Structure 1
């Protein structure tokens, strides 16, 4: 990607959305009835509405930003593009699954009382294809898990589909790029609404890649929206122009969605679903339009923190959930209270990600690609050492 044409708003937005992920995953420990890997004894129902407010668009916008990034890469042949993406995503996925993730099922299993304490023995079992007791940890049926790295698996799949069907998908681009005014704010919510009506009850989201048709329909659609949006100046200007409209409409859609959902949960098919489902999809798309429009106005400048954050975002993403789970595993039994405990989990997670990335990952040349960072060119490494010698 050429640095002069860098879209600072997309870079900044990616960093902010992934930072939100750390807050979100920490908050899940404190949500009453949540199915997060570890739960605090200080769970509350008060977090339900703010978490739904974020959750209805947070992964959708991550896939959309991934699509935008794919569209903005310097044009190469489809094969070269695919190979570059596979190299960038597959190694962190495999490394993360082998080294970073296993701490999560271990902590989860021990806290459930279904895994014997002792991390070394757990690892021997984990990699030795051991059969786990039912419910030991998320993914126990498969014997292993990719937990929060499912996003990398799905992204790789969508990139392969995109490259395969590119000539076909390119034909839709002009239609998408012509959307203006109310059409831009309403029409893109209809395919996801159709996916919800046809697939949500039949295929609840499982992140297991197989049989996850509802999730694929939603996330691939948003990935494609991002790809079509790409570098199109007209659409970005339109999103910026509509930013107040999309903001107020998004908030209204959210309250209507909550109203219908309070009458009947959206996982039941009742007359209320005819209000709840369209409003949920309208809220999701309007919120994304508002975020894109506002960030294009406010974030499209070379902030001082941006070049650091751009490097840090991938390693932080890989590390954050294992850090949260490990800290919760140590801190929850200490009963430190409903303020100190989440504060320690949050600051500890940031500290682990910060120190892990700046002291270790970015410095060790063979570790960099394992966390999605480009290997440093040799002359730069030589320059570093010569500076150190002076």
Structure 2
């Protein structure tokens, strides 16, 4: 997933841009798979749900959003260059809050409608639902995810969280850019070898011990103490990483070792979690949560190293991806759910249905994004820079 919003093109490094696009692509794949994971809550569920999907989805779930927030911190540092703090806050607010408001009003509503109808708690009729939804009606308990608030942001929660972290880090910039703050940054970017693999895990492990038992994930912004601590820390890590050549060289040097470590820790985490659940050992939950922190950080370090090693080149698809990834992120989950509802009566089966659903999601996102990119007034609503003044053939870089 990008980091949202995109980075000024003059500051871009190809591997960061490619990783940004691939990370959000992974989010889309994850949401497609959520329809088919047996025994996991999601807005709708396929009759072809498969238990075997739980293992790869758990392996992915332990670091996928961590990667997104780390890349977002990288983007913050790159956008910061040449911007005043008020200018930075204005820019990021426009690129995050406007798409969030538009997305909640126009893109997301079909999702709670479809979930409520599937749950038997909302009567069919999307027009009637919208009238009630926009009027702030009360809903039956459990009608859809977010029914308590009357409205929901569903998958767009990331934009709200990223905006809050942007404000907090912007407020801390005088400290971060002071002599003391720069010493802390240099200490982080100066980590090498085992220290780079071990030390950044310590705050994450501390959050698991102190916060995780008391703050289960909610994505409601208010009651998400553990996830806020984790995501904001990774956001700051990304800001510190920046374009430091020494640290990136070390990430590349360690890429094989960290890849092997991530595979070993991931297998150990998932295997021990399965054993603990099977034999009913609740005391193992906290140690395994800390082990999962080590796996997540090893995976992130390996991903950054391999991305810099393999992706730092001007890929032909990169310019298109940089402009398309934000609209795709906003549109994909609604596209998935619309197609789910449309395909369900066809009873396509466990092989044809996911294939058609994936192809259809790509086609819908591709087609709608092509329209968004070409219509000037739509672009800011999907997080893209407005076109240049008439008479200029190129758009502003993001």
Question: TM-score, normalising length from structure 2?
Answer: 0.93
Q: Are 2:377 and 1:376 aligned?
A: no
* Alpha-carbon distance in 2 for matches of 1:219, 1:90: 19
Contact 1:82-1:160 within 8 A present in 2 as well: yes
Contact 2:208-2:286 within 8 A present in 1 as well: no
SS at match of 1:264: helix
Contact 2:48-2:349 within 8 A present in 1 as well: yes
After TM superposition, the structure 1 stretch with the greater mean CA deviation from structure 2, 91-100 or 5-14, is 5-14
* Residue 358 (structure 2) aligned to one of 327, 343, 346: 346
* Residue 165 (structure 1) aligned to one of 169, 172, 176: 172
* Alpha-carbon distance in 2 for matches of 1:318, 1:12: 19
Contact 2:372-2:382 within 8 A present in 1 as well: yes
SS at match of 1:205: coil
Q: Tell me the residue number matched to 2:153.
A: 146
* Alpha-carbon distance in 1 for matches of 2:377, 2:277: 49
* Alpha-carbon distance in 2 for matches of 1:272, 1:176: 31
Q: Tell me the residue number matched to 1:187.
A: 199
* Alpha-carbon distance in 2 for matches of 1:274, 1:135: 29
* Alpha-carbon distance in 1 for matches of 2:372, 2:85: 30
* Residue 367 (structure 1) aligned to one of 353, 363, 378: 378
Cα distance per residue 1:90-113 (max 9 Å; x no partner) = 110000000000010011111111
Which structure 1 residue ranges, 5 or more long, are not aligned? 385-390
Q: Are 2:107 and 1:100 aligned?
A: yes
Contact 1:263-1:272 within 8 A present in 2 as well: no
* Alpha-carbon distance in 2 for matches of 1:262, 1:118: 43
* Alpha-carbon distance in 1 for matches of 2:53, 2:188: 36
Displacement after TM superposition at 1:75 (Å):
2.6
Q: Tell me the residue number matched to 2:247.
A: 235
Displacement after TM superposition at 1:198 (Å):
1.1
Displacement after TM superposition at 1:272 (Å):
2.3
Map 1:255-274 to 2 at 5 A: 255-265=267-277, 270-273=282-285
Cα distance per residue 1:39-82 (max 9 Å; x no partner) = 00001111011111111110000000000011112332111111
Q: Tell me the residue number matched to 2:3.
A: none
Contact 2:31-2:333 within 8 A present in 1 as well: yes
* Alpha-carbon distance in 2 for matches of 1:157, 1:306: 28
SS at match of 2:146: coil
Contact 2:252-2:308 within 8 A present in 1 as well: yes
Instruction: Pick closer, same or farther for the CA change 1:322–1:128 going to 2, 3 Å.
Output: same
Displacement after TM superposition at 1:4 (Å):
4.9
Cα distance per residue 1:274-302 (max 9 Å; x no partner) = 64123201110000000000000100011
Q: Tell me the residue number matched to 1:120.
A: 127
* Residue 306 (structure 1) aligned to one of 304, 318, 330: 318
Map 1:1-390 to 2 at 5 A: 3-73=9-79, 74-170=81-177, 171=181, 172-265=184-277, 270-273=282-285, 275-358=287-370, 360-380=371-391, 383=393
SS at match of 2:19: helix
Contact 1:86-1:156 within 8 A present in 2 as well: yes
* Alpha-carbon distance in 2 for matches of 1:380, 1:281: 52
Which structure 2 residue ranges, 5 or more long, are not aligned? 1-6
Contact 1:240-1:297 within 8 A present in 2 as well: yes
SS at match of 1:366: coil
Instruction: Pick closer, same or farther for the CA change 1:271–1:348 going to 2, 3 Å.
Output: same
Displacement after TM superposition at 1:345 (Å):
1.2
The list of structure 1 runs, each at least 4 consecutive aligned residues, that deviate by more than 3 angstroms after superposition, is 1-5, 268-271
When the two chains are superposed, the root-mean-square deviation of aligned CA atoms in Å is 1.6
SS at match of 2:216: coil
